[in-house]
A = this chain, B = another copy of it.
Amino acid sequence: MLQALIFGTTGYTGIELIRILSAHPEVSVVAGSSRTWANKKASEVFSYISAEKDFPLVELERLLDKPEADVAFLALPHGDSAIAARRLLESGVKVIDLSADFRLKDLGTYESWYGLHKDPDLLNSGVYGLAEIHRDEIRTAELVANPGCYPTTVILGIAPVVNIDGVDTSFPIVDSKSGISGAGRGAKLNTSFSEAGEGFRPYGVIGHRHIPEMEQELSLLAGRKITVRFTPHLIPVSRGMVSTIYLRTVPDLDAETLRDAFEKFYENEQFVRVLPKGIFPDTARIRGSNQVHISVEIDQRTHYAVIMTAIDNLVKGASGAAVQNMNIMFDFEESAALMGLPLFP
Q: Does A200 reach chain B (CB closer than 8 Å)?
A: yes
Copies in the complex: 4
* Given the contacts A237-B199, A308-B202, A177 and B180 also touching, CB distance less than 8 Å: no
A273 to B54, CA, bound (A): 14
A201 to B280, CA, bound (A): 7
CB of A120, distance to nearest CB on chain B (Å): 24
Segment of A41-49, A62-70, A150-158 engaged in the interface with chain B: A41-49
- A192-208 Cβ-contact flags toward B at 8 Å (1 or 0): 11111111111101110
The 3 tightest CB contacts between A and B, nearest first, are: A199-B284, A194-B345, A201-B282
19 residue pairs from A and B, CB less than 8 Å apart: A19-B343, A22-B340, A46-B285, A48-B285, A50-B339, A173-B246, A188-B192, A191-B193, A194-B238, A199-B237, A201-B283, A202-B242, A203-B280, A205-B295, A227-B301, A229-B246, A229-B304, A239-B345, A288-B343
Interface residues of A (CB under 8 A from B): 12, 15, 18-19, 22-23, 46-50, 171, 173, 175, 177, 179-181, 185-189, 191-203, 205-207, 227-229, 231, 233, 235-240, 242, 244, 246, 270, 273, 275, 279-289, 291, 293, 295, 297, 299, 301-302, 304, 306, 308, 310, 339-345
